Structure 1
Amino acid sequence: MSDDEKQIRVLIERWAAAVHAGDIAGTLADHAPDIVMFDVPPPNEGVRGIDAYRDVWPGFFDWQAQGATFDIVSLDIEVGGDVAFAYALVLCGTAEEFARDPARRLRLTLGLRKQQERWIVVHEHHSFPLDLAES
């Protein structure tokens, strides 16, 4: 594993721990001022900029405080020069959701850029598979 991959892995694991703890400062750390995020809940066009990114987390933290989990199951990282992407599967849900669907996993993709010898997240995408049987 390269030094860049190690740095990115630490960054993502630190971010996930902050999300799990409901730590807004830690969640925002290492994110670009012009971050773009596509999330599970609306708005469908995503959120743009660190202020809009900050605004989506309190509702998630409130939901998570009711007993939901947010734990990385697998994480893969690809680095090419000053850009990288990472993709992960995350246990994200309540006990009731996992009882209904034990295989439930949040899909996470992150795009990163190296600036001034430091990796930052410039794009974040969260999704759940669509169960066509329920549609």
Structure 2
Amino acid sequence: TVGRRRGLRVGLLEQDVRFPDPAASPRAVYEAALGERRAESVPLVGLGLIAPRDLDRPVGALSVGQQRRLALALILARPPHLFLLDEPTNHLSLALATELEEALGGYPGAVVVASHDRWLRARWDGEEIALRAA
């Protein structure tokens, strides 16, 4: 059982990202998730995760990596206190995986990463807990 204090924001970057409406654009998904005011104050394109040319394409037409970057943008636009990442480097370019790894080191909240990525684990500065089958 896990409890959490009132007001604690938890962000989860799932390994397999799914959006309910594949016809919606990244811009529409972002605004619906954050609300118009927050989406204007933290513009999606300003996060550098979605190219301006892709803002109005259907989410279902984006690559798996682009969809994953949109999911990451949704989390980072309202930074959680606890950030859970399931295989965070899957489907990301090497450059973006490197940027993500560097950013996680300075993240102000708690970060939990589940990953088979040896490169990420070798460079990880945080505490590591290895889970093994009994």
Same fold (TM over 0.5): no
TM-score (norm 2): 0.31
TM-score (norm 1): 0.31
Structure with bigger helix share is 2
Of structures 1 and 2, the one with the larger relative CO (CA 8 A, separation 6+) is: 2
Structure with bigger strand share is 1
